Structure 1
Amino acid sequence: MEIRQLKTFWTLASTRSFSRTAEVLNYVPSTITMQIKALEEELGVKLLDRLGKSVILTDAGHRLLPYANKILNDIEEARYVSSESGELTGTITIGADEVLCTYRLPALLRVFRERYPHVRLLFRPLSSHNLKQSLREGNVDVVFMLDEPSVSTDLHTELLMDEPFLMVVSPNHPLAACSTLCIEDFNREQILLSEKGCSYRTFFYHTLLRKGADSLTELEFNSVEAIKQCAMVGLGIALLPEMSLKGELERGELITLPWDLSEIQFATQMLWHQEKWISPSMKEFIELARSVLKLKVS
């Protein structure tokens, strides 16, 4: 088993694409195929399946991944402690949910790329319920998530900034003209919801039910942009982070409803595994995230 084979396997598990892996590692795609085939033959198992242009790990691939991650992490640490070079290199794999991918992280990634051009960034968009598990399995180095503040025994969690939420509708929606609302006003209304497993979707929906709403109709999406577009044409009521609504509110395409959302206390958070070795490049990335995303120190 060669280190380059493990690196290729680990990168492929992150990108889920042969062509993207070849681009990241500066190989031709056929080299990626040959290395994975050689690794599978040596281990005597199939590590991944190709479904069209997508790549998914087999059960054996999932079992190998944390070991490959640990080996490569140890090698990176060994290279650093034995090297006299002051230039930051290496790879950082980042995971985040769709909202933060779109509205918080682009500025951070741009600044980091400008400052440290020799550090390779791999980005993995993940659903909310997979973020922490990806850290625990070693699939990513750092994740960003929008969630309620929480404490974990194995994950280091930092709150970066509070994220207020707004309940919005189209200006033509029947509730748009109301100066006050009561829970009965939501009965028989269509609620535009994010995917199952999203923490604020669950909180929002259960809060309405707990306060006495009934006969709610759900329409589920896996994209904030899709929710906004449907809200703008009057399909229903949406609860979204304020950071995702600035343009639509300024243009009058959506308006806020007068409903108390003070119970919703969510924040952009940065997490990594407590047992992970923090490489110099990862340390700089964490410090820059604190600066760009305006860490609030309590």
Structure 2
Amino acid sequence: MEIRQLKTFWTLASTRSFSRTAEVLNYVPSTVTMQIKALEEELGVRLLDRLGKSVVLTDAGHQLLPYATKILNDIEEARCVSSQNGELTGTIIIGADEVLCTYRLPALLRDYRRQYPHVRLLFKPLSGQNLKQSLREGDVDVVFMLDEPIVSSDLHTEILLDEPFLMVVSPDHPLASRATLSIEDFNREHILLSEKGCSYRTFFYRTLVKNGADSLTELEFNSVEAIKQCTMAGLGIALLPKMALKGEMERGELIPLPWDLSEIQFATQMLWHQEKWISPSIKAFTDLARNLLQ
């Protein structure tokens, strides 16, 4: 039994795809097939079944997986101890949506780089609807999401920080000086929204319609900064996380509206696959994320 065979098996168990495993490990697909076949022959059991384009672990595969994870983790720890005078090494691939990429993660990435300069950090900005899939396909190691509390059978999820939201307009908007608002005040207003698939965009729009708003005009943007700039220019009303509005509100460029948003319960969350091999460098990264963001 070779270490590379175990690594290939572990990666295949995460991606559930021969082609994706080949991409992750920089192999040709035939190499993946050859290594899995050799491992199965040595163990005398079938480790997986192909169901169409998907890969499913057999009972024997499920039994082998925790042992493969432990062996690979021990090897990574041994490498860390024996190289760079015990300093952590390796590569971490991180995914996050645009809001967290801009407002929450820069300080985390900066501090981690300072503490562990020999670890390579690769960052992938992804839309919210692709983040969980990227974990399941093995494209990333850890993702951060701004969403309602996530419950998953195959992903480990942690809430790091509750994120309040505000509804904002420009100072010269007709609603900016109002002490109270009714749902009728939103009729015929322009609503500045993030791209489709964003969870809080869906929640925001659904809440307005449910409460009786009609004749709403939607303007869609793929950037929080674009939404803020257009809101400051007086183009309409936006709902954004408070973390993205601090500077503009302090300068008086955006005004919060007196509208109850207590139903919106979103949080910054950290996720990884439950079957993911957590190397010492990834563990150090998640520990630092908890310390900085909680």
In the superposition, the TM-score normalised over structure 2's length comes to 0.75
CA distance in 2, matches of 1:212, 1:293: 37
Stretches of structure 1 that go unaligned for 5 or more consecutive residues are 11-34, 44-61, 65-69
1:86-105 residue pairs with structure 2 within 5 A?
A: 86-105=86-105
CA distance in 2, matches of 1:161, 1:89: 28
Displacement of 1:79 in angstroms is: 3.2
CA distance in 2, matches of 1:198, 1:214: 21
Displacement of 1:280 in angstroms is: 0.5
1:77 maps to 73
Displacement of 1:176 in angstroms is: 1.0
The letter of the residue matching 1:134 is: S
Displacement of 1:92 in angstroms is: 0.6
- The change in CA–CA distance for 1:81 and 1:162 in structure 2 (over 3 A counts) is closer
- Report the secondary structure of 1:156's partner residue: strand
1:215 maps to 215
CA distance in 1, matches of 2:293, 2:238: 25
CA distance in 1, matches of 2:78, 2:282: 18
The letter of the residue matching 1:178 is: R
CA distance in 2, matches of 1:82, 1:273: 23
Q: Tell me which stretches of 4 or more aligned residues in structure 1 moved more than 6 Å.
A: 40-43
2:182 maps to 182
Do residues 128 (structure 1) and 124 (structure 2) align? no
1:162 maps to 162
The letter of the residue matching 2:283 is: K
After superposition, the C-alpha distances for 1:178-224 in whole angstroms (9 at most, x for unaligned) are: 11100000000000000100000000000000000000000000100
Displacement of 1:234 in angstroms is: 0.3
Stretches of structure 2 that go unaligned for 5 or more consecutive residues are 12-24, 33-52, 56-64
2:46 maps to none
- The change in CA–CA distance for 1:87 and 1:63 in structure 2 (over 3 A counts) is farther
CA distance in 2, matches of 1:75, 1:117: 25
Do the aligned residues in 2 keep the contact of 1:76 with 1:90 (CA within 8 Å)? no
CA distance in 2, matches of 1:224, 1:172: 21
1:25-174 residue pairs with structure 2 within 5 A?
A: 39=28, 77=73, 79-83=75-79, 84-85=81-82, 86-174=86-174
Displacement of 1:103 in angstroms is: 0.2
1:292 maps to 292
- The change in CA–CA distance for 1:195 and 1:265 in structure 2 (over 3 A counts) is same
- The change in CA–CA distance for 1:231 and 1:142 in structure 2 (over 3 A counts) is same
CA distance in 2, matches of 1:153, 1:292: 27
Do the aligned residues in 1 keep the contact of 2:144 with 2:268 (CA within 8 Å)? yes
CA distance in 2, matches of 1:74, 1:137: 21
Give the length in aligned residue pairs. 240
- Report the secondary structure of 2:219's partner residue: strand
The letter of the residue matching 1:163 is: E
2:225 maps to 225
1:17 maps to none
CA distance in 2, matches of 1:81, 1:164: 39
2:238 maps to 238
The letter of the residue matching 1:213 is: A
CA distance in 1, matches of 2:54, 2:247: 44
CA distance in 1, matches of 2:70, 2:186: 55
The letter of the residue matching 1:245 is: L
The letter of the residue matching 1:248 is: E
Do the aligned residues in 2 keep the contact of 1:192 with 1:227 (CA within 8 Å)? yes
- Alignment RMSD: 2.7
- Report the secondary structure of 1:101's partner residue: helix
The letter of the residue matching 2:163 is: E
In the superposition, the TM-score normalised over structure 1's length comes to 0.74
The letter of the residue matching 2:252 is: G
CA distance in 1, matches of 2:112, 2:178: 46
- The change in CA–CA distance for 1:194 and 1:143 in structure 2 (over 3 A counts) is same
Do the aligned residues in 2 keep the contact of 1:77 with 1:277 (CA within 8 Å)? yes
The letter of the residue matching 1:118 is: H
Between the aligned residues of both structures, percent identity stands at 74
Displacement of 1:40 in angstroms is: 7.8
- The change in CA–CA distance for 1:276 and 1:236 in structure 2 (over 3 A counts) is same
The letter of the residue matching 2:76 is: Y
Displacement of 1:39 in angstroms is: 4.0
1:279 maps to 279
- The change in CA–CA distance for 1:168 and 1:251 in structure 2 (over 3 A counts) is same
Displacement of 1:149 in angstroms is: 0.8
Greater Rg over alpha carbons, structure? 2
1:27 maps to none
CA distance in 2, matches of 1:77, 1:135: 19
Displacement of 1:174 in angstroms is: 1.1
